[in-house]
Amino acid sequence: MTPWTVALMAVLLLSGVRTAVAETVRVSGTGGALATMRILGDAFRQSNPRIRIAILPGMGSSGSIKAVLAGRLDIGLSGRGLSVAERALDIVETKYARTPFVFGANDRLKITGLTMEGAVAIYAGKRDWEDGRRIRLVMRPAEDSDIPVLKGMSPAMREAVDLALHREGMIVAMTDQDAADAIEAVPGAFGGTTLSLVLSEKRDIRVLPLGGVAPSVRTLAMGSYPYSKTFRMVTKKNPPASVRRFIEFVRSPAGSAILAKNGQEPWREKGVRP
């Protein structure tokens, strides 16, 4: 065998190895969407074995948008819409689901349900105790995407959240997972989260009915539970075929079934508020 033949065979062998290696789609973003996206990625891989969906550690909505722009992510998961400035850049958003935004309580806190007035009182610092146990409010930073959702619940809640943001001694969780950890672990803890996170991560958090309505995909779709957070996939304007294929799967009937099982109503273009 001549040296030329050996070299040619080596090139062909390496080419074959490269074509067999899975293409990777890098995904990260808002914590409430990550666990479900991992489940979706595993299901997608069964029919697309050459495309690997890599779920990276959570970096929040804004962090994921910046990472997409910088080329470090292929899909950023965002719990907020793109700003006017971001829309002018080389990125687009695809809404794919919404999930009930809920109030969760530590198991030791004997609250079984809430009115909006009761929730406002907790955030305003007027309701600090429940059955002899102190309520420990778990807050998020002012720039977090949960804050506009909370403030949008009512004018009274807007004022109460502003008060809570400036109160000393608050538990401030930097990520969705940090907030869930605190609600699970701190006796008397109470705070906002998403049904998607609680279900997809199998969290030991008591999700509270609000105004007598239990949050669920069904009550959200019916409109009887009105508080939600919309999830978006942010990508470059002309993403690779592998990225487009995964987005199509997320919005397919198979993807929709996975979303619904994990507390998310698949997005419908008509009749659903952003």
Please give the pLDDT value at position 181.
97
Domains present along the chain, CATH in parentheses: 23-98+228-266 (3.40.190.10), 100-222 (3.40.190.10)
pTM strictly above 0.85: yes
Please give the pLDDT value at position 268.
83
| Over residues 204-218, mean pLDDT | 96
Please give the pLDDT value at position 43.
98
Other Cβ atoms within 10 Å of 15 Cβ, number: 10
Residue with tokens 């950890």: 181
Please give the pLDDT value at position 272.
43
Please give the pLDDT value at position 270.
56
Please give the pLDDT value at position 20.
53
Evaluate if residue 217 carries a pLDDT over 70. Answer: yes
**H helices within the chain, ranges in order?**
3-20, 31-47, 60-69, 84-87, 116-124, 146-151, 155-166, 176-185, 195-200, 217-222, 241-250, 253-261
Please give the pLDDT value at position 16.
45
Kindly state the tokens that stand for 153. Answer: 């619940």
pLDDT tens-digit map of 12-35:
344 444 445 679 999 999 999 999
Q: What is the mean pLDDT of the chain?
A: 90
The model's confidence at residue 160, banded by pLDDT at 50, 70 and 90, is: very high
